[in-house]
C-alpha cells in the first residue's frame, strides 16, 4: 500500500504527458446503456474522453477520461456535474467492479505490455479488450508472477497486442487492476499462435487463483470527445462517419 501511495503522489506532480505516453491517471465512468459527451462539450473540457460500448458482458458504455494530474480531475469534476455516466448501474452483482459507477486509476508502467505502442494504437483503435484482475491481500507476488509469465508468453510470439495497466485507487474494492488493450480490428484475435499465447496467459491466471474478468468493447466516436492532436492519427474515424472494420 505504501508503494501505491508513493506512486500516486508522484503522479500528482507529473507534467502533462504527450500522446507518446499513457496518461498517468484515468477517470472511468460506467454508464448503463448509451452515454453522451455533450456535458464535456458544453463545459469546454479539453481532456481526451474515449467512449466505448460493451460488446460482451452487461450492456453499458464506458467513458474514459485521460488526466495528467489530480488537479486536472478536479477541474473536470467542477466543470461537469453530475459526472457523465452516473446513471445507476443496474447489475450490482455483476463482475469485479460490481455497482461502481466512477473510478480513478493510476498508470502502472511495470505491469503494462509495450505501453508506448498501446497509446499509439488507442488513437487508431476500433475495439478495446479489457482485462480486470482482483488481487487479494497476500496474493501480490502471485500477480507479479502472472504478469511476468504473461509478458514472456506474448514476447515469444512477438504479440502485437500492447496494453496499458492501471491500478484502481478509488471507486471499488482494493487490489483491482484494469488492463486496456486497443485493437485495430477483431481480426487480430484470429491469429493462431498469438491466440495460443494469450490462452496460456489466461490459464496462468486460473492457476494462480486470481479473480479475473475479460470484456470486449467497441470504440464509439459519437460517445468520445478527443483533441485534434489525438484525432489526427485517424481523423476520418474520430471526426467523420467511418465504419468500424
pLDDT tens-place string over residues 72-105: 999 999 999 876 655 556 655 568 888 888 999 9
Helix (H/G/I), strand (E/B), else coil: 62: strand
The pLDDT of 139-155, averaged and rounded, is: 86
Helix (H) or strand (E) holding 178: strand 176-183
Grid cell 460490481 in the structure block, residue: 98
In a domain, 48, yes or no: yes
Q: What angle do CA 79, 85, 89 make, to 5 degrees?
A: 145
Q: Is 188 among the domain residues? A: yes
Residue 241 resides in a domain: no
Q: Is residue 235 part of a domain?
A: no
C-alpha cell at 239: 471526426
- Output the pLDDT for position 157: 80
User: How many domains does the chain contain in total?
Assistant: 1
Mean confidence (pLDDT) of the chain: 83
- Does residue 238 sit within a domain? no
Q: Is residue 240 part of a domain?
A: no
Q: Could you report the per-residue pLDDT of 190-239, keeping only the tens digit for each? A: 865 555 656 656 666 665 667 889 899 999 999 999 999 999 999 999 99
243 assigned to some structural domain: no
For residue 95, give the nearest of 134, 48, 49 by alpha carbon: 134
Residue 31: give its domain's CATH number: 3.30.70.100
Closest to 143 (Cα-Cα) out of 74, 205, 190, 198: 205
pTM for the whole structure: 0.84
Q: Indicate the DSSP class of residue 33.
A: S
Whether 234 is covered by a domain: the verdict is no
Count of CB atoms situated within 10 Å of the CB of 142: 17
Q: Which domain holds residue 111?
A: 2-229
Amino acid at each position: 500500500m505504501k508503494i501505491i501511495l508513493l506512486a500516486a503522489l508522484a503522479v500528482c506532480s507529473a507534467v502533462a504527458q504527450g500522446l507518446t505516453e499513457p496518461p498517468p491517471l484515468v477517470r472511468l465512468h460506467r454508464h448503463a446503456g448509451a452515454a453522451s459527451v455533450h456535458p464535456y462539450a458544453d463545459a469546454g473540457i479539453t481532456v481526451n474522453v474515449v467512449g466505448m460500448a460493451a460488446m460482451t458482458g452487461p450492456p453499458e458504455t464506458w467513458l474514459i477520461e485521460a488526466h495528467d494530474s489530480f488537479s486536472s480531475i478536479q477541474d473536470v469534476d467542477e466543470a461537469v456535474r453530475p459526472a457523465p455516466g452516473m446513471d445507476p448501474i443496474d447489475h450490482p452483482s455483476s463482475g469485479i467492479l460490481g455497482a461502481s459507477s466512477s473510478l480513478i486509476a493510476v498508470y502502472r508502467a511495470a505491469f503494462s505490455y509495450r505501453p508506448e505502442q498501446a497509446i499509439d494504437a488507442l488513437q487508431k483503435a476500433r475495439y478495446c479488450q479489457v482485462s480486470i484482475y482482483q488481487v487479494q491481500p497476500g496474493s501480490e507476488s502471485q500477480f507479479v508472477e502472472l504478469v511476468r509469465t504473461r509478458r514472456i508468453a506474448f514476447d515469444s510470439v512477438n504479440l502485437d497486442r500492447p496494453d496499458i495497466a492501471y491500478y484502481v485507487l478509488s471507486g471499488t474494492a482494493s487490489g483491482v487492476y484494469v488492463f486496456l488493450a486497443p485493437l485495430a480490428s477483431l481480426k487480430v484475435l484470429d491469429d493462431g499462435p498469438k491466440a495460443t499465447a494469450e490462452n496460456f496467459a489466461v490459464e496462468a491466471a486460473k492457476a494462480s487463483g486470481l479473480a479475473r474478468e475479460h470484456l470486449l468493447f467497441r470504440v464509439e466516436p459519437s460517445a468520445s470527445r478527443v483533441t485534434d492532436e489525438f484525432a489526427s492519427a485517424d481523423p476520418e474515424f474520430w471526426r467523420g462517419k467511418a465504419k468500424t472494420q
